[in-house]
Amino acid sequence: RRSTMRTKQTLDNGSSQRSGFFKSSRSTLKVLHEGSATERRFIVGTGLCLAFSAGISNGTCLSGFLNESGATQSVAGVTGAYTDSAISLGLGDFYRSGFDFGIIGSVLFGAFLAGVMNPFAIPFELAPKFVPTFMLASLFMTAGAIDAYFDEEYPRLAFYFTATANGLQNGISSIYSANLIRTTHLTGTTTDIGLLLGQILRGNRANQWKLGILIGLAVVFWGGSLGGFFLSRKVHSLALVYNAVFFFLIGVTLTYHYMERHGITLWQALIGAGKFGTMYKNVKAITESGNEVSDSELMDLFDDLDDDGDSFINQDELFLALNGKYDHIIKEKKNFFRILEDAWNESSDEGKNWKLSRDDWRRLVDHHCSTRHVSFSELVLNSCGPASIRQASIAMMTQAGYEVYDDDIDDDDSEK
């Protein structure tokens, strides 16, 4: 007996048309396979550019050449600021301690703004608010550069504005890459590189694809820091001006990408509006409706199947569970399994023992809980990217009469 999942559409004459099915042998599913390939490349490429910019700003502000006072302060990572604020407070240097707390608050505020403007972001699928969030970060970066240029003695606001911009850019790069790309500090990146190298050495290559991205982030951040040092030594406060221009050019590229990809105007791209924005608002509006299967229940499903605790399950175990104890998930969440089917169909390593990691399952669950039961007009669909159109087509398939069902076939190939 074998079990497959198919789509079925009942026609007026009683006949049926079937399309798509889950095959039993697919290669390891990766998180990045879920989004549009263009958007994945664009997000990773943008993240590398942002890491270079963050390196320039951090190298400049730590070089001592930014202003006449020779003040130095990290404006990317805040681990040192936490420690320095405690030490300064212990020494009675309240001015320095307050400065450190200001840097921490600036990074925190920048990340807060990123979260407020992108409350329902889906990893590796750019949402309309990505552009206005980035342009806001560009404004903060520009404000920091202006203050550094005109306040040569001690441009305290320049540090604050630059730290806020870095908090914003680190926030948006994190939420749109499932925390893979963090552009302004390398502690987590260095830790992940070490972990992955150790796992690969012991034969676990499930997340090997992340290694190149993480190493790239480390290299470009280091290169940006080196460039920031030499640049600030030569032109002093103008180094932040040059970096603000570079940052703004990244924003212009993002804006152009959105205008071309989604057929919207400049104003719509800058404010995250238009048909594309309306589509995501519709998604947000209906995520609370319908017959819901909670993300915690879906994660419990994985944990129930992971008997040996190695954070991996195979597809046969998954299908048996979905056709048994968890069969209501199939009935209530058709679009989730369409997404899962698309993910498998994108895999190219057929014939291998397919396994699903807990991280990959988490990714699918998050995607599922953000894209359920949506309907869109034809005009909206025509203005969307491939990944968004795929999400919309799931709902349209259901509205057109398609249903997901279990096709159990006995050894004699007779259907029940």
Domains of the chain: 2-29+286-409 (no CATH), 37-272 (1.20.1250)
Which of 230-244, 273-287, 349-363 has the largest mean confidence?
230-244
User: Which of the two residues, 354 and 25, has the higher pLDDT score?
Assistant: 354
Residue 357, SS3 per DSSP: strand
0.85 exceeded by pTM: no
Alpha carbon distance 376, 387 (integer Å): 14
Q: How confident is the model at residue 344 (pLDDT cuts 50, 70, 90)?
A: low
Determine the distance from the C-alpha atom of residue 272 to the mean position of all C-alpha atoms in its chain, rounded to a whole number. 17
**Residue 379 pLDDT more than 60?**
no
**Residue 253 pLDDT more than 80?**
yes
**Residue 33 pLDDT more than 90?**
no
Note the helical H segments in 184-262.
Answer: 187-201, 209-235, 238-262
User: Which of the two residues, 382 and 193, has the higher pLDDT score?
Assistant: 193
* Average pLDDT of the chain to the nearest whole number: 72
- Model confidence pLDDT, tens digit, residues 307-339: 777 777 776 666 666 655 555 555 444 455 555
Alpha carbon distance 296, 365 (integer Å): 9
Task: Please state the rounded mean pLDDT for residues 94-113.
Answer: 95
Task: Please state the rounded mean pLDDT for residues 397-402.
Answer: 46
Question: Tokens 């203005």 map to which residue?
Answer: 383
Q: Tokens for 65?
A: 């050449």
Specify burial of residue 139 (Cβ count, 10 A radius: 0-12, 13-18, 19+): middle
Alpha carbon distance 17, 339 (integer Å): 20
User: Which of the two residues, 202 and 408, has the higher pLDDT score?
Assistant: 202
Which of 9-13, 64-68, 308-312, 399-403 has the largest mean confidence?
64-68
Task: Please state the rounded mean pLDDT for residues 128-152.
Answer: 88
**Residue 102 pLDDT more than 70?**
yes
Distance of CA 23 to CAs 20, 26, 164, 319, Å?
Answer: 9, 7, 48, 11
Sorted by sequence, the CB contacts under 8 Å of residue 31 that are 6+ apart come out as: 123, 124, 178, 180, 359, 360, 363
User: Which of the two residues, 346 and 318, has the higher pLDDT score?
Assistant: 318
**Residue 349 pLDDT more than 50?**
no
Which of 67-81, 142-156, 159-173, 390-404 has the largest mean confidence?
159-173
**Residue 100 pLDDT more than 60?**
yes
At 330 the pLDDT is: 52
